[in-house]
Structure 1
Amino acid sequence: MRVPALKLTEGDAIRPLHPAPSVRVRTAGLREWVAPGDRVAAGDLIAESPEGERFGRRRHSPYDGVVIPAKRSGEIQIVGRPREQLPAPHREPATLSPHAVVAAVRDAGIEGMGGGVFPTWVKLSPGRPVECVIVNGCESEPYLACDRRVLAEFRGDVECGMRLAMRAVGADRGVIVHDDEGYPGGYERFLVRQVLGREVPPGGRPADAGAIVINVQTARAIHQALCLGRPLLDRVVTVDGGAVRRRGNFTVPLGTELGHILACASADLELAAAIVAGGPMMGVESPLDAVVEPGTGGVLALTREEIRRPADNPCIRCGDCLEACPVGLSARHLILRPAAALSRCMECGMCQYVCPSDRSLVALLRRAKEALR
């Protein structure tokens, strides 16, 4: 069964979003360098991981403004406005060492923008030879088209970021992949097999097969950090769904609430049966005060006709989950008897999508994974 693409905004140019009065930047587990009352400028470092933490992260202010008491702990809230995009001198990074590229990516706070939200500087420090950097532009999730628009409008930026990533890992080859093979195309392991003809070993990462895979917007963020001196402050987001009247692709400051985005897109919340951050297959149903983070590729307001709530009827042993799984796993068997093969499950939701009993298979598989730990 093929998942419909529903790329209704693929031809819509990227537009700026009218800024919210404030943004809320997530800082859980980080040291905060600002306090209520402090003035900040867009791009200022406001929080970072404790010294020596293995997967160090950094957060920067998306706004020029003032820090106010946050709604909840683990956040910094800033009242103000994003800085106007002034022309910036283009730095020439050709003479930078691999170490300097990795350090600049770390300092810019770049994280995986395809949904994984893994610190990019760590990915660019594989500790083993890498021959190819693969830029993932497949974006197979239904509705989402933001990466396609970035690739269409800023391909030069993406190619520059790819070359910088190649310099960081010592790769002599870079490939931008944007095949439209349908969902769940674009999974890292599939791309490595497609480009290099190799399999990522069970429990391993693409680097174990000689590749690094980064998202289109991650590549562009690398370009902006190295060439324009700009940390990660915003991202392009697709806003869509049957309850949205003004769908499109918008540049959104990180920390912007979903409710503000949907208001700007003239969403009818009375029609919305679910608000989803991300795509409908792997995204997360979220409250209106949830905020955009580096991995948030979409904000969807879906009607009742666009969603299907799990009914959790008994399994009828039809085998549809096994047939639909892109890596050949039986959800039924792994839920009953958790096994090491669960590490291959990418939680794409195809098993749940085809299940005639409408079982909550993704949640059950996650629970089975926890049982193995």
Structure 2
Amino acid sequence: MFQQFYYRFLRWPVILRVLLIAVSVILIFGTAIHFIEPKSFPSIFTGIWWAVITTATVGYGDVYPVTIKGRLLGMLLVFIGAGVLSAYFASLAASTIRSQNSLLRGEKMFNGQNHIIIIGWNGRSKNVIEQLLHLNNHHPIVLIDDTLEENPFHNRQVHFIRGKPYIDETLKKANLPFSTIVLITADQHKTEIHADMGTILILLAVKGIHPNAYCVVEILTPENVTNAKRGGANEVVQTNTQTSFVMMNSILSHGMSDTLLSMMDYLHGNQLIFIPVSVEWEGISFQSLCTLLLKERKILIGIKNGEETIMNPPPNQIILKTDELLIIS
């Protein structure tokens, strides 16, 4: 029986073992001094109070032993108790440092909810995280990457997990089932084809654990866009195609790249977003709705219905309940 308890005791964390020993020493010596000197220590609680103060080397002097036996017990308590308490606080400090280091190195599990998971470390993911932090986004951010040695952001809102993102264990450490959005960026250390293959593999792993997660994936080659959608991607960011479109517009109309960036710059109050159709807007024309939205400093530039987006539709086109409105706000 004793051996079983002893082996279980050895499995406890060091800090709990030392704390239990310290409490036991205080209780034993506090009770013993009460029976050795009942006049100076009229109750067991008084003895325990003295043991705590003596062990902590504070020494208020309100109660103290006067007999030789009591003083010998006090000396023994100082030698034993001070050492045990020192070991406890040293273990506590070491445990705190280990916890901080494991958090910094991405070894600690994330236990929050409604968070945004960003997979892959590169210039694009760095800018996304920085913008989310500047926008005072209240959702925690979890960064997953296997190339970083430690968290690149010294911010409590950004939790780092080091590991391969296509492995279930890594995704579970990010508490994936309780996340809201997952952004998967392309691996900058691979060729475009291999980067897309890795992105789709991660997407399959994410959807396998959390089928309802809204997944935004970065795809570099046009032929893999369909594969990403087959894998369950809710939105595909075609980095190379979008960049080439911006370049083409800059060739045809100088200065267009800066203008497009300004339109999508959330940090300066500009937003290019989709909004749902309100009840009072149903059945009116595109031109009439443009006039209404201009009063709110919103410019209507297109309509999306399903997978089709129409830019600058005819003025007399009727707004439907199922439409989404593309506006610049």
TM-score (norm 2): 0.26
TM-score (norm 1): 0.24
Larger radius of gyration: 2
